[in-house]
Structure 1
């Protein structure tokens, strides 16, 4: 029994040291990815380059685990850059529509949905028929439902005004009303 406990302690220490090294490398990767993001913005390029991602997947992934990890790295790098770029302006309300103050975020739709997933409360239940949106939300820890009797919030993907959250053509507006009441929002329907 003592040998088993000693082995467990040794393995846990190895795992801890390995995790510490991975985090250090991830921080370095984040800095490099941020510099690449700055170059893309300066050059007027899209942040996401799926062709490059596929090249990397082909050259570095040799099993499903590695492919999964690489895809996570791509998503987090891209979305960290989007969040980081938007966070400098996020304190001020940048749009007023019909007397309602909104914060505006501009990016590609998938990045906006990822940002929305971070703004919603953790574990929010979401009714969503859009498969690509459901994948992003579920990977962020939300629960996808088949039905919600009466959702706390409905988000329309057609840019409909007079809503708490407006998503249309590469921009997302989030109202100050939503931010003030988001602690009470745990069921969301996306149409």
Structure 2
């Protein structure tokens, strides 16, 4: 109850002087626009801790992108056995770097719900395809062929070597199962 009274008093004081009321409730204010977040309808413990993190230093940062693409339902044969992959699996593709310089690229497959137990992936390969702005592929980097079978996932392929692409365009991760492309996820690369 004491905490609720303190919050109500702080909110009332904010109407008159936002910066000074916030300083009393939380601590020193570094800017006039440094006001608390909206905590309406949120309950707090008696030992609530509010921690203000400093801003990140300005300068160059590593940029990146992450995305997932659904894998459509499909069936295939491997080793004389028929397999089906139901809806609920996704190809994920993460890329880090800046501009045409790539510092890390990773791809993998995960399934959710019943697919995590039902989807069987055999004879798989993950590849990275690089295309120019005219959508023409100019380079393919193939991960290892995994001839074993996995349930609900495909082993991740992680390319950790720094490399610079010769031009802008797009970088795509592609999943092949028994030699046939089953999903693709792309990120656009700009200068």
TM range (shorter): under 0.3
More strand by share: 2
TM-score normalised over the length of structure 2:
0.23
TM-score normalised according to structure 1 size: 0.23
User: Which of the pair has more CA radius of gyration?
Assistant: 2
